[in-house]
Structure 1
């Protein structure tokens, strides 16, 4: 079916001028002159056969027709921009861009990526290590791994790993003058804190864990060094500098290798409302590289190398 479409330049000029109610500001955004914006809108008005603006002495106002058409036009331009980003995103189907939080990327994803490369040698993975929310279109991100509540409007969201915060330390702290045998023994050791990116009462903290373990009055839960990256707290724990409260998924490999231990395996771990998620625009699953990575990473999380909720 053929479409009868107004001149695109006129639509862009009208939408920008309607947002600002100013030809001058619209011209600045579009990198043209105010006279050019005015002429493009006049051409559009002639095409549709009705005025879109009331041009006052010191002001610009939308007519009833302009007000009625603006929301649909903005939606249409958004769709055009999205189509443009999708088309540009297909410029190299061999490159798979994964956005992941730095600590989770370094400690969980990167050690497993060789398995993806062996399974899918035609794809080259690019890791975008960041804690900020991914802009799939502007940054050409294909898929993201995120830690949170799973609320990402407009995107497909799948739970990758159920999560809990667990205390971990070097095996050397199980011996010595003050061996770690029970949560009460933490009063003799340094607590290593992670400044969790998310601001919520449900985010894991030593105060929450100690309360759940029934020893909140034994020591000051706020004392000890703080790290902006969880992987730094993990490394400090590996080095024997204290006990870190970190995500079980993040330290699964260190626990398996014996670099870290769980000093209180029978203590109740402080479960949180947060999980690790695979996040992507639903339409992207039609891309073979995104479908391949999604299937692979879900199997990694569910397999022997990936902890289950019971493990963490």
Structure 2
């Protein structure tokens, strides 16, 4: 069944004017001018084809037609408020769906999510592997992490990092260059692997040297599994938190981004 178009602004003005029986006091409540209240009431009367108010020597009073619709109107506004609260409840929930590249999830994201979960037992995470640009129109995502030079047209912020770093097995390994899609000199590399995480693992096994995001290598470097052959150097590419504006505005997303950025 086709729904009737509801003149919500006019109905809101009607409610305020009926409660105060004064266009001036209704205007004060709604932060508009009395003239604007009068215009909204006249437009609503034209739309409905009824007279809602009459001016008398005692002031403004509702007509029987206006009085007849007032109770269900106010019930409707209460239901609108309940609907808004129900929709906003999702912002305070602690269940999030996150898309990220597999290697970032393994080496950076999951350890941090585990620490957050230890601190807050109500947190719930669903992780989705996304090695290409995430499609928010098809996936029920709250947040994605993307490797590149920007936010892909979404809202977002860069994850702080020292840039790129070259690593190898402690004590040295083979001289071969280990490459992954998106790294420098990928086509000329001796050994190619699917992602930067596998490049780190290959370097740790002594297969060669890999130039990878410092963010990804940090835990393996700290644990002594690999060593750096030089200082990290800045890179135009990096990891970004991204989401369309409605998802980005969610309190739970902003809280997660702030916690992960520490």
TM-score, with length taken from structure 2: 0.61
* 2:15 corresponding residue in structure 1: none
CA–CA distance in 2 between the matches of 1:120 and 1:292?
A: 13
1:228 aligns with 2:194: yes
From the superposition, tell whether residues 92 and 264 of structure 1 become closer, same or farther in structure 2 (CA, over 3 Å).
Answer: closer
1:246 aligns with 2:212: yes
Instruction: Using CA pairs under 8 Å that are at least 6 residues apart, name the structure with larger relative contact order, 1 or 2.
Output: 1
Is the Cα–Cα contact under 8 Å of residues 206 and 245 in structure 1 kept in the other structure? no
Q: 1:289 aligns with which of 246, 252, 256?
A: 252
Q: 1:262 aligns with which of 228, 231, 251?
A: 228
For residues 65-80 of structure 1, the aligned pairs below 5 Å read none
Alpha-carbon displacement from aligned partner over 1:105-132 (angstroms, at most 9, x marks no partner) = 1111112211111233222111111112
From the superposition, tell whether residues 223 and 145 of structure 1 become closer, same or farther in structure 2 (CA, over 3 Å).
Answer: closer
For residues 1-312 of structure 1, the aligned pairs below 5 Å read 2-3=6-7, 93-153=93-153, 155-173=154-172, 189-196=175-182, 204-206=183-185, 222-265=188-231, 269-299=232-262
* 1:76 corresponding residue in structure 2: none
Structural RMSD (CA): 2.8
Q: How many residues align?
A: 179
CA–CA distance in 1 between the matches of 2:167 and 2:111?
A: 20
Which structure 2 segments of 5+ residues have no match? 9-86
CA–CA distance in 1 between the matches of 2:106 and 2:191?
A: 21
Alpha-carbon displacement from aligned partner over 1:120-152 (angstroms, at most 9, x marks no partner) = 322211111111222224211001111111142
Instruction: Note the C-alpha offset of 1:257.
Output: 0.7
Is the Cα–Cα contact under 8 Å of residues 151 and 240 in structure 2 kept in the other structure? no
Is the Cα–Cα contact under 8 Å of residues 116 and 293 in structure 1 kept in the other structure? no
Alpha-carbon displacement from aligned partner over 1:62-113 (angstroms, at most 9, x marks no partner) = xxxxxxxxxxxxxxxxxxxxxxxxx7xx599442101101111111111221
Which structure 1 segments of 5+ residues have no match? 5-86, 175-187, 197-203, 208-220, 300-312
CA–CA distance in 2 between the matches of 1:286 and 1:222?
A: 43
Is the Cα–Cα contact under 8 Å of residues 199 and 210 in structure 2 kept in the other structure? yes
CA–CA distance in 1 between the matches of 2:261 and 2:149?
A: 18
Rg comparison, structure with higher value: 2
